[in-house]
Amino acid sequence: MSSLTLVARRAGRPHTSMFLRMLLRAAVRRRGRAASALLAMIVAAAVATAMLNLYGDVQSKLQKEFRNYGANIVVVAKDGQTLGPDALPAVNAAIAGRGLAVPFGYVVARTVSGQPVVVSGTDFAQARALNSWWKVNNWPESSRQALLGVRAQSSTGTQPFDLTFQGRTIHITPAGVLQTGADEDSRIYISLADFQTWTGMRPSTIEIAVSGSTKETESTLQKLSAALPYADVHPVRRIVEGEARVMGKTRATLLSSAVVIVLTSSLCVLATLIGWVVDRRRDFAIMKALGASERLLTGFFAAEAAALGAVGALVGFALGIGLAAWIGRVNFHAPVMPRFEILPVVLAGAIAVALLSAIAPISVLRRVQPATILRGE
């Protein structure tokens, strides 16, 4: 290749390499200020990444946590009747695999001493999954075994006993003790099969834990009311309202925390860039004296800020993914899946913050007077 061809090719090529060398030289020669500004951008990008990942995943995580506190919808037969055989299939069809429905039957039986006690029949495996917050020392595993509420145990004792309902008697063996601090403490729970064989009655209540947003829960309520017109379908207000309130506050906290930290980081970047301009006044004065235009200097400094924002965004995104995963593991005992679709948002946001922070330093740069600076004034 001839020297003339090489010179012509270099002359026609944009001065990209020189521009990049100038950017790199500015960062290397002022490592302290560059590192502090880069650290601020990394922190802002990492926090924004973690908060955006959690914001998208926190609803499902909190819903899972709330499902551990029992049902959020209850279906009760009207006028003291029992539910028909189609009730449970209709409920399962309405929730469409998004939750758990557990039937309960209730009667008031009497002990041998004639003392009344509430007896409930249920599916122990499903009740255990629905009410994982119950304090139970041992769950029944075979027929005719019972789970005694802590207050009901004072009436029956710990030895096998008989219960009578409408002239029918069942012999019960205590298997474990239940403590909730609520009405369950006064009840005796037996298997649903034993309950129906003994009383001849079907369940009168279905407790449902359905996942989803507040709107989805309301939609499920409407479906259940339409499918079961002979039953009273209502939400457990303390669970539904508490869930909506906690989710709203949690999401608001995540967003406000991210905004505050990003603003704080932008102030740090602003202060650093202003100091960067002040330290480099002589360099910029020489560039102006050699013929560099205001537009060129502004573009050069904006490119430095944008490069700072881009590098900080990429490093911060990687750290933010790890931070979100750690928070999910510690607080929800489940991983938070990384959302790579937010990378463009974090990248664009970091560059925008860096460019906005560069506005004030650029105005300082434009006021640099070469003659005054080069005379040492």
* Stated pTM of the model: 0.57
End-to-end CA distance of the chain: 51
- Please provide the size of the chain in residues: 377
Per domain, the residue ranges of the chain are 15-64+245-374, 73-235
Residue among 221, 200, 174, 219 nearest 73 (CA): 221
For residue 5, what pLDDT is reported? 47
Number of C-beta neighbours around residue 350 at 10 A: 30
pLDDT in tens, the chain (377 residues): 444 443 444 444 444 555 555 555 555 555 666 677 788 888 888 888 888 877 766 666 655 655 556 678 889 998 778 898 889 998 988 888 778 899 999 999 998 888 899 999 999 999 998 888 889 999 998 999 999 999 998 878 788 999 999 999 999 999 999 998 888 999 999 999 999 999 999 999 999 888 776 777 788 888 888 888 888 888 875 555 555 566 666 667 777 777 787 787 777 777 777 776 666 666 666 666 666 666 777 777 788 788 888 888 899 999 988 888 887 777 766 677 788 888 898 898 888 888 888 787 777 666 656 555 555 55
Number of C-beta neighbours around residue 29 at 10 A: 12
CA distance linking residue 285 with residue 7, whole number of Å: 30
CA distance linking residue 56 with residue 250, whole number of Å: 12
Alpha-helical (H) ranges within the chain are: 3-12, 16-29, 31-67, 87-95, 124-130, 153-156, 192-199, 214-227, 237-279, 281-289, 294-332, 343-357, 359-366, 370-374
